[in-house]
A = this chain, B = another copy of it.
Amino acid sequence: MSRPNIVVLGAGYGGIMTTVRLQKELKANDANITLVNKNDYHYQTTWLHEISAGTLHHDRARIPIGDLIDFNRVNFIQDTVLSIDPEGQRVQLEEGELTYDYLVIGLGFETATFGIEGLLEHAHSITNINSSRLIREEIESNFAKYNNEPEERDDLLTIVVGGAGFTGIEFLGEIANRVPELCEEYDIPREKVRIINVEAGPTALAGFDPELVEYAMNRLEEKGVEFRISTMIKKVTEDGIVVEKDDEQEMIPSRNVVWAAGVTGNSIVGESGFEVNRNKVPVREDLRAPEYDNVFVVGDCAVLMNPETERPYPPTAQIAIQMAELTARNLKQVVHGNNELEPFEFDNKGTVASLGNTDAIGVIFGDRKLFGRSASIMKKVIDNRYLLKLGGVGLFLKKGKLDMYH
């Protein structure tokens, strides 16, 4: 009997953790494992706000695939996925084609623009390593330009962040810390710089405890962030953004528009014949696609209801990792001929949003609220725990956040 082919698409949190676990738990004769990824590295999506702000170098947040995967056990293909044919059990790549017996889709998120005119062309999104270091460079470049212009151009020094969700708030925390450094570097008076957050919903950090939200907003306001809550972005142009509140429109001149709102699943999934909602597959409890017993979906391309809250699980790293761990266990059952699959059960380890390097807010143990220094340390503990899980002590020492107390 031939060994089944397991193909994993994507090396984000879901894909890489599935592969690392399969490599560990399956014997060489159990299955052929193939991992496909666009880049030869895995990266920490939850650290991209730091790269974007320029407070962390992107090499700190990425890990060569070869440091995580044993190429004697796993066939790694660096290529871009173009489409999936679940009927034919094939994956079309830019440079070739793959067939599979079992497929794990971990292709991650795309930016949702909500139809806002000019957003894709004129705003930058915190999406991946490439887009994040471009945000860093564009902001630096605009600050460098300021003292070369014959007139005072405030648009160069105005940073607009669209969205006050998790990523938006974390980016605000970093960029507020970075601005004084940028001012020093480019001889700009701090008071010339504006950091404006625009949030369409009625609150920042929707879903968080109001006391935590208030703390976060106060701390960011102290660092100079201006919040525009219940305010819509109507349009983004080369020169700035048009916002609307209470039927009144305003143009905010800005060359630094960062979009940190709304994500959807990967459009490849939406275009490959799966039943989807915003490119996300509404998976069964065992994370398989409704129509295909041999297709698992993990991370941001999957959507699953949380029976406790009766709302879908949010697209977080923590959930992607737990989905991956479950999928590796279930695939082990399947290749051993056992078709009783384990359902997904979320083990909530808490949620912490950073507000810069030494400040944060969060909830752990279900209802314990954390603020400031202690929340910031917890955030680093969570990040380090992931590295230990993924690559052991070696990886933790190499890429971990070891400056926990400052």
Contact = CB atoms under 8 A, between A and B. Distances in A.
Contacts of A144: 130, 133-134, 136-138
Interface in A134-183: 134, 136-138, 140-141, 144-145, 147-148
Contact of A186 (B133, B147, B186): B133
Contacts of A133: 144, 186
A39 to B, nearest CB: 8
Contacts of A44: none
Nearest to A184: B59
A148 B137 CA distance: 13
Interface string A112-140: 00000000000000000011011011101
A142 B148 CA distance: 18
A134 B145 contact: yes
A325 B131 CA distance: 52
B137 A141 contact: yes
Contact of A138 (B134, B141, B147): B141
Contacts of A131: 148
Give this chain's copy count.
2
A144 B133 CA distance: 7
A256 to B, nearest CB: 12
Contacts of A141: 134, 137-138, 140-141
A138 B134 CA distance: 11
Contact of A148 (B130, B147, B148): B130
Nearest to A186: B133
Contacts of A186: 133
Contacts of A134: 141, 144-145, 148
Nearest to A146: B130
Most buried by B among A133, A138, A145: A133
Nearest to A147: B130
Nearest to A140: B137
Nearest to A138: B141
Nearest to A40: B187
Nearest to A59: B185
A134 B147 CA distance: 9
A136 to B, nearest CB: 8
Contacts of A140: 137, 140-141
A147 B134 CA distance: 9
Nearest to A145: B134
Contacts of A147: 130
Nearest to A133: B144
A147 B131 CA distance: 8
Contacts of A136: 144
A250 B196 CA distance: 45
Contacts of A145: 134, 137
Contacts of A148: 130-131, 134
Most buried by B among A131, A134, A145, A147: A134
A366 B5 CA distance: 76
A138 B137 CA distance: 8
Nearest to A39: B187
Given A130-B144, A130-B147, A137-B140, 5 more contacts: A134-B145, A136-B144, A137-B144, A138-B144, A140-B140
22 contacts: A130-B144, A130-B147, A130-B148, A130-B187, A131-B148, A133-B144, A133-B186, A134-B141, A134-B144, A134-B145, A134-B148, A136-B144, A137-B137, A137-B140, A137-B141, A137-B144, A137-B145, A138-B141, A138-B144, A140-B140, A140-B141, A141-B141
